[in-house]
Amino acid sequence: MSSTQPPSSPADAGGDAGELYGELVDDLLYDPAIGRGTIMGHPCIRLAGQFVACLQKNGTSLIVKLPAERVTGLVTEGTGLPFAPNGNAMREWVTVPTVDRALWQDLLAEAVAFARQNLPRR
């Protein structure tokens, strides 16, 4: 029996992704305007009711809402994939399949800032 572990399977990666998502979301909940919810069956976070980000239903990828230009850049550079539920890409949403704490933390911060700038003016 070998003492080395086999490469991570998608299920293992999903567990890691779900755990990382949970930790990063917990870090954002200090802000009373941010809360948990669901969107299209995905666990998500919202800022004052506006969708910010979610974990893909299968638990393997981060999905964030960002300006369309930023989404295009992430897809072009290969960091993200179009988020296309039902086959139609949503221009302000991107799927990030690489489980990377620093990347996800930065993208979540960008997504919160984007949602905050889109809040109705008082």
Give me the percent of the chain exceeding a pLDDT of 90.
71
CB of 55 within 8 A of CB of 63? yes
- 49 in helix, strand or coil? coil
Residue 23 within any structural domain of the chain: yes
Window from 21-25, 40-44, 115-119 with minimum mean pLDDT: 40-44
Distance CA 115, CA 86 (A): 24
Residue 59 within any structural domain of the chain: yes
Residue 18 within any structural domain of the chain: yes
Residue 4 within any structural domain of the chain: no
CB of 63 within 8 A of CB of 93? yes
5 or 68, higher pLDDT: 68
Query: Where in the sequence is the domain holding 66, given as residue range(s)?
Result: 10-117
Query: How many domains does the chain contain in total?
Result: 1
Residue 2 within any structural domain of the chain: no
pLDDT band, residue 15 (cuts 50/70/90): low
Residues 27-72 pLDDT 10s? 999 999 999 998 888 889 999 999 999 999 888 999 999 999 999 9
Tell me the β-bridge partners of 34.
Answer: 47
* Mean pLDDT value across the chain: 86
pLDDT band, residue 120 (cuts 50/70/90): confident
> What pLDDT does 12 receive?
39
Query: Phi/psi at 72 (nearest 5 deg)?
Result: -60, -45
Distance CA 86, CA 2 (A): 43
**What DSSP designation does 51 have?**
E
Tell me the β-bridge partners of 107.
Answer: none
Distance CA 35, CA 13 (A): 25
pTM: 0.84
